[in-house]
């Protein structure tokens, strides 16, 4: 039985802050930060937006593209995030309620740093293939947290991507998936802490690259494919540099990865990141083309997927706004308004 993507949708808040505006506040050199991270600006949520509202907007767009799917046919809803609005009370139930998927569905919030939603896609694939549900939905959404003045502040942004997984009417077939997970302390947030901590350079070699490369290679070995079988490659995008370097290590060219690199202008949307990159590729890919997607979540793990686009993509992709629309729909704010929107003032 085939399994794959029936619909996909994204959402990015309209506010942006430039690297220069953050660097000015902390006395950092904006030029070296921009060239070091390959990020020039990032998205910022409104005061009345959080992970639940972002997830609902993306999920509604996914449902528009999956036009044969009735909300009541979605038997599982997973929301992956590290900024769920409640410590206890599921974002997934809010999404299910807002889309009319309730009440005959299972739902749960997932957390695995930036890769929880690809784990959600795998769970949906299993439930669909096992015949337990007809369709499942996995959403990656974050209003990413970062301590003021920390290096993360230049990239931690907000956005969401939602995927409806099923066995028929596929816009893209998921040929196989492969995961690679180890206990690595590269980035964490303790219970009750406002902001995450990270291991600086330690987040690179033993963390991001180890998992992204090994998961991608493991998937290709499992399937018997190689780099030349793929038209596009998509990785988690903590900054603009890491995914480019991972692509190069694996033997992919800049052309393979460029269509997915939205990080430069919206920042790192954490749980939304690799799935927003995949959506950007689905917005332009042609039928028959193949995509290698590998997420990364600190802590640490990667889920890799081999995806083949189907003929249905042409008629479905225009049913909801593309990633490019949300990327270009923007209004700049300064650091003071950013601090207000992110509730950095505590009185």
Q: Indicate which residues carry an active-site annotation.
A: 82, 114, 236
- Do the Cβ atoms of 305 and 121 come closer than 8 Å? yes
Q: How far is the CB of 56 from other proteins (least distance, A)?
A: 4
Q: 104 or 228, CB closer to other proteins? A: 104
Non-local CB neighbours of 137 within 8 Å, separated by 6+ positions: 59, 62, 74, 76, 77, 78, 95, 101, 124, 162, 163, 164, 165
> For residues 159 and 299, which CB has a smaller minimum distance to other proteins in the complex?
159
Element housing 166 (H / E): strand 158-166
Smallest distance, Å, CB 224 to other proteins?
36
Shortest separation between residue 142's beta carbon and other proteins, angstroms: 16
User: From the CB of 69, what's the least distance to other proteins, in Å?
Assistant: 16
Query: DSSP readout, 296-338?
Result: -BTTTEEEEEEEEE-TTHHHHGGGS--HHHHHH--EE--HHHH
How far apart are the C-alpha atoms of 62 and 207, rounded to whole Å?
A: 31
- The whole-angstrom separation of Cα 276 and Cα 261 is 9
Specify whether the CB–CB gap between 322 and 300 falls below 8 A. no
Six-digit token string for 141: 């959404």
112 token code pair: 């695995």
If phi > 0 it is left, if psi is from -120 to 50 it is alpha, else beta; for residue 192 that is: left
CB of 137 to other proteins, least distance (A): 15
Residue 11 or 187 with smaller CB distance to other proteins: 11
Q: How far is the CB of 34 from other proteins (least distance, A)?
A: 27
Which H or E element spans position 25? helix 19-26
- Residues contacting 88, CB < 8 A, separation 6+: none
| Closer by beta carbon to other proteins, 1 or else 87 | 87
Q: Which residues bind other proteins (CB under 8 A)?
A: 14, 46-50, 52-53, 56-57, 60, 85-86, 94, 97-100, 283, 318, 321-322, 324-325, 329
Q: Looking at beta carbons only, is 2 or 64 nearer to other proteins?
A: 64
In degrees, rounded to 5, the angle at the alpha carbon of residue 262 between the alpha carbons of residues 86 and 32 is: 100
67 or 248, CB closer to other proteins?
A: 67
Torsion angle in degrees (nearest 10) through CA of 331, 284, 220, 273: 10
């Amino acid at each position: 039985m085939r399994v794959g993507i029936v619909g996909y949708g994204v959402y990015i808040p309209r506010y942006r802050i430039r690297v220069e505006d953050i660097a000015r506040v902390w006395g950092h050199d904006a030029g070296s930060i921009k060239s070091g991270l390959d990020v020039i600006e990032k998205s910022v949520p409104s005061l009345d937006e959080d992970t639940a509202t972002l997830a609902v907007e993306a999920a509604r767009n996914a449902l528009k593209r999956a036009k044969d799917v009735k909300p009541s046919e979605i038997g599982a809803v997973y929301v992956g995030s590290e900024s769920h609005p409640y410590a206890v009370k599921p974002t997934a139930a809010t999404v299910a309620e807002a889309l009319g998927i309730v009440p005959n569905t299972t739902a749960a919030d997932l957390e695995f740093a930036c890769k929880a939603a690809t784990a959600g896609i795998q769970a949906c694939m299993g439930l669909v293939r096992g015949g337990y549900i007809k369709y499942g939905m996995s959403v990656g959404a974050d209003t990413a947290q970062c301590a003021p003045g920390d290096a993360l502040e230049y990239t931690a942004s907000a956005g969401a991507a939602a995927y409806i997984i099923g066995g028929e009417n596929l816009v893209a077939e998921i040929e196989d998936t492969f995961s690679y997970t180890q206990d690595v302390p590269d980035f964490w947030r303790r219970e009750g802490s406002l902001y995450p901590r990270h291991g600086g350079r330690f987040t690179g070699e033993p963390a991001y690259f180890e998992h992204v490369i090994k998961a991608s290679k493991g998937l290709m070995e499992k399937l018997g494919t190689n780099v030349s079988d793929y038209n596009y490659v998509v990785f988690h995008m903590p900054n603009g540099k890491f995914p480019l370097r991972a692509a190069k290590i694996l033997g992919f060219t800049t052309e393979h990865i460029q269509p997915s690199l939205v990080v430069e202008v919206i920042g790192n949307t954490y749980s939304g990141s690799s799935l927003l990159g995949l959506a950007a590729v689905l917005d332009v890919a042609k039928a028959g083309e193949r995509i290698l997607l590998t997420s990364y979540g600190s802590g640490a793990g990667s889920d890799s997927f081999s995806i083949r686009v189907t003929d249905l993509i042409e008629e479905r992709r225009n049913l909801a706004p593309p990633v490019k629309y949300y990327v270009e729909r923007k209004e700049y704010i300064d650091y003071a308004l950013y601090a207000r929107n992110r509730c950095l003032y505590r009185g």
